Amino acid sequence: MRNYLIIGLFIAGLSISCTNTTKGYRNDNVGQALGTTYSIITITPVEMDLHKDIDSVFAVINKSLSTYIPESDISRINTGDSSVVVDKMFREVFKLSKEIYAETKGYFDPTVGTLVNAWGFGPEHQIELDSLKVDSLLKYVGFDKVMLTTKNRVHKTNANIYLDFNAIAKGYSIDRLAAMLKAKGIENYLIEVGGEVIAKGRNTIKDKSWIVGIDDPEMQTQRASKILIHLNNRALASSGNYRKFRIDKATGKKYVHTVNPKTGFTQNSNTLAVTILANNCATADAYATAFMAMDLDEAFKLINTNKNLEAYIVYLDENGQTQEFLTKGFKELVVE
């Protein structure tokens, strides 16, 4: 989607490999899902092939939450099918989205999908927009206009409201993969899907903590890590506008993929990239998106009051100079 995290441990392409040492087996599962790539390292006492289990998790996520699959529950809801009874995963994502929508005062909003599509960054057709058209679409934005009934059906105050959980569903899919590994008794693993990550335990083969690298958002043509951090029993998600944008051929104007749900316009700001650490990846995913839509002052205020999150923000100051903001907890994880 929008992430800028590099995991230097992984190999590109679809593969399954296993390395045997006296300290256990390293199993590598690498492939494609959710429109991106995934890499999963597990360390187990015996060799394990997890490919089918991984595919099963992605399949049920897609069936429930993918706006790119016409037959999914969310797609049917978006096209007006009020008979859909949503599953537990949908309900969990919906509930967490409500909480983060309230906490961010609407900057995280799954109903902004109408505008994301209109600006050309979603599965639906892009349209030509001006201030009048944006205003007309804003009446379909507002997660407070959507609720779950006691019969687990989605009720929208306007049938044209378009739900899009893509800014939280990828993180949630990582949480579901982690739950699957936990159910199998696997205690040491690193899961990455499209730049979102969750790490548990340690790399026991090397007797080290898991280490991940975060991209430098100012490297436009190449990828290089700006910092390295230790990641232990935490989830990480990143957001940035420096790679996902489009240039209008007629005007040459740059449009970034982050849409501000308050204004309806794409959010060009001094924030270059945000990385969030949280106890689960769905939460980290959603807050990373919200912080990119906020002004910097609002982002700093929220991150300083929410003690469950750690943040790394790369931004431009009033002189156009690159600056970095790290919370105390994030600083403690940086590899020196």
**How high is the pLDDT of residue 244?**
47
Stretch 102-121: mean pLDDT: 84
Stretch 168-190: mean pLDDT: 97
pLDDT over 80 (residue 17): no
**How high is the pLDDT of residue 260?**
81
**How high is the pLDDT of residue 113?**
78
Inside any domain, residue 291: yes
Inside any domain, residue 233: yes
User: For 61-70, 258-267, 278-287, which range has the lowest pLDDT when averaged over its residues?
Assistant: 258-267
**How high is the pLDDT of residue 126?**
56
pLDDT-based confidence at 14, cuts 50/70/90?
A: very low
Inside any domain, residue 336: no
Cβ neighbours of 236 (radius 10 Å): 30
Domain that holds residue 268: 5-331
Number of domains forming the structure of the chain: 1
Inside any domain, residue 40: yes
pLDDT-based confidence at 247, cuts 50/70/90?
A: very low
pLDDT over 70 (residue 12): no
Question: For position 41, which CATH number holds?
Answer: 3.10.520.10
Higher pLDDT, 279 or 136: 279
Inside any domain, residue 123: yes
Convert the pLDDT of each residue in 192-226 to its tens digit: 999 899 999 999 999 999 999 987 776 555 555 67
**How high is the pLDDT of residue 136?**
76
**How high is the pLDDT of residue 268?**
63
